[in-house]
Amino acid sequence: MESARAKPSRVGLDSHLTLHYRLSLADSGEAVINTFGARPATVQLGTGQLAEPLERCLLGLDEGVERSFDLEPEAAFGPRNPELVQKLSRSVLEANGEPGTEYRPGDLIELNGPNGGRVAAVLKAIDARHALLDFNHPLAGRRVRLDVRIIGVL
C-alpha cells in the first residue's frame, strides 16, 4: 500500500518559520541582510521580527519553496517623506537621547518619542546648536529585492 505524503506546511499570519533570506537593494544588488551561507533565521510572523511588507511576501508560501520578490518603495518601506527630515536644537537631542553620547553624522540614534516609546533617526548633520535628523526608514524610497528559502513552518 502506498503511503500518503504529508502536504508541506504553508506560511500563515502567525507562523513560526525557519528560513534563509536576503534583502538587497534592487539598483545595486548590495545586501542589507543575508542569512544564506550562515545560520538560518527563526522568526514568528506578526511580532515585528520582520518588517510587515516582508511578512506579506511570505504569506501562503509552502515549506521548501524558494522565491524572489522585487518590491517598489510603496510596497516595501514607503516613499521618502521630506517632512521627516527635521532640525532639532542640540539641547532637545541631548535631553531625549542617550546621556553622554558623542554624535557623528551617519549615526543611527534612538530618541524618546512623544508617546513614551523610542523612535529611531539617522543623524545627517550636527553643530554646536542644532542637529538635522532623518526619521524616514533607512530603506524608504528604495526598491528592494527579497530572496527567501522557507526551511520549516510551524
- Confidence check: pLDDT of 105 > 70: yes
SS3 assignment, position 57:
helix
**Domains of the chain, residue spans:** 16-78+139-153, 82-134
pLDDT at residue 51, rounded to an integer: 92
pTM, to two decimals: 0.81
Which run of H or of E encompasses 145? Answer: strand 144-153
CA distance 141 to 77: 7
pLDDT at 15 over 80: yes
Q: Give the pLDDT mean for 51-71.
A: 96
DSSP at 74: G
pLDDT value of position 104: 95
CATH of domain 16-78+139-153: 3.10.50.40
* CATH architecture of the domain covering 82-134: Beta Barrel (2.40)
| Eight-state DSSP code of residue 53 | H
Give 37-52 pLDDT, tens digit per residue: 999 999 999 999 999 9
